[in-house]
Amino acid sequence: MERRILLTECQDAVGIIAKITNVCFQFKLNIIRQDQFASQEDNKFFMRTVLEGDFTNETTIDAFINTVKVVLPEGAIVHLKDDHKKKLCVLVTKEAHCLGEILMKAYSGALNADVVCVAGNYPDLGELAEKFNVPFKLVSTDGITKEEQEKQMMKVIDECNADYVILAKYMRILSPDFVNHYPLGKIINIHHSFLPAFIGAKPYLQAFNRGVKIIGATAHFVTNNLDEGPIIEQDVIKVTHRYDPETLAKAGHDVEQMVLIRAISKVLDDKVFIHGNKTVVF
């Protein structure tokens, strides 16, 4: 017996859950877990169904997917996902904490993914990547235009055939050409503040100047609007007036790596639907 995940997105209507579960019964598939959400603002329906059964026959799989589509409202989006390991390409600059956490989780099997490449605009984290036998590619900004550097970086990403690109404190603002080269949902960023607060550079200095009592981190999909893509995961920790910008940043590192790993895990487990500029996360 094998497990697959059925992802369904369509217009909401009466009886959708019953129709899908009936198709599962017809194809002798056991439902292990099911999560659903209906958005009242735009009448959209989302469902994630974990199935167990015989998925060895591709013709039967295609018939199952097509039968599900037939019983749903027109325009329904249906995917049947397996649990194969995804490929991650991680982009970095100089800070090691998020990269280190990703490499360790992938190495230990806590992430259902292989880090196939680490690429940076500085050489500082090459040694860390190599300790985990992950190739490091230096794509420097020295002596070339931003456009040329991005072309080189996109070539690195495309050549490693990554399923997802993780910006693990990659301190470069991506151009529209770079972002539009990839489908929405492929690039995940960790932002070192609790968005929408303190967008842009030096968020911990901004937080210090504002006298905040909590700091946080936000993992989100990347769009052409800086730090405004659909949010996947957020968390905060408490701080006091005794924290200066440096200690705020040190405390923030823990929450950054925790939030990023949670977000990556949920995406890898097919628990995230993009819903406009928001997400539905099961």
- Reduced to 3 states, what is the DSSP secondary structure of residue 210? helix
- Does the pLDDT at position 128 exceed 60? yes
Looking at residue 38, what is its pLDDT?
97
Q: What is the pLDDT of residues 158-211, one digit of tens each?
A: 999 999 999 999 999 999 999 999 999 999 999 877 645 666 667 667 777 778
Distance of alpha carbon 266 from the chain centroid? 7
| Contact (CB, 8 A) for 45 and 89 | no
* pLDDT, average across residues 230-252: 88
What b/e readout covers 247-277, taking b as 16+ CB neighbours within 10 angstroms? Answer: ebbebbbebbbbbbbbbbbbbbbbbbbebee
Give the C-alpha separation, 203 to 176, whole Å: 23
List active site positions: 227
Q: Where are the alpha helices (DSSP H) in the chain?
A: 16-26, 58-71, 97-108, 126-131, 146-159, 176-180, 203-210, 245-268
Helices 16-26 & 58-71, crossing angle to 10 degrees? Answer: 160
